[in-house]
Amino acid sequence: MTAEPLAEVKFDCEVLNIQAHEDCVRLSLPGNQTVDVPWVVAADGAGSAIRRSLDVETDGPGDMGHFLNVMFRAN
Ligand SMILES: Cc1cc2nc3c(=O)[nH]c(=O)nc-3n(C[C@H](O)[C@H](O)[C@H](O)COP(=O)(O)OP(=O)(O)OC[C@H]3O[C@@H](n4cnc5c(N)ncnc54)[C@H](O)[C@@H]3O)c2cc1C
């Protein structure tokens, strides 16, 4: 965990669940940890689990393609 005056940054940390409460938003993290925060910005990508958990729909054409990256070593 890294701290700086404006934010606490947790690297390599997956949000497993998110619950809205009267006075905070509670995030469930691995290892039975919870963090209470005043608000959340759902920046978890196009397939956002947070967006879906809040029943927020997307706008526009939606899925525009499927990609597969293959990394290999060869002569
Ligand atoms: C193959 C490919 C090529 C692309 N090429 C281009 C291009 O040339 N030009 C262009 O403008 N755009 C391109 N895009 C689109 C661009 O990548 C996305 O529009 C952009 O990355 C979206 O940014 P974002 O921050 O919203 O989400 P993302 O970049 O997807 O970041 C979301 C982050 O949230 C993290 N996350 C997700 N769930 C959780 C969770 N539960 N807990 C904690 N963290 C979580 C993910 O690990 C990820 O780091 C491309 C996309 C793909 C797939």
Mutational pocket test of ligand 1: of 37, 44, 51, 58, the residue with most ligand atoms within 8 Å of the beta carbon: 44
pLDDT (tens digit per residue) in 14-48: 999 999 899 999 999 999 999 999 999 889 998 89
Alpha carbon 58 to its chain centroid, in Å, reads 16
pTM of the model: 0.80
Distance from the first to the final alpha carbon of the chain: 41
**Whole-angstrom Cα distance, residue 25 to residue 17?**
10
Regarding beta strands 33-37 and 17-20, do their DSSP bridges make them parallel or antiparallel, or are they unpaired?
unpaired
CA 2 to chain centre: 18
Within 10 angstroms of residue 49's Cβ, the number of other Cβ atoms is 15
**Pocket lining: 45 vs ligand 1, CB cutoff 6 Å:** yes
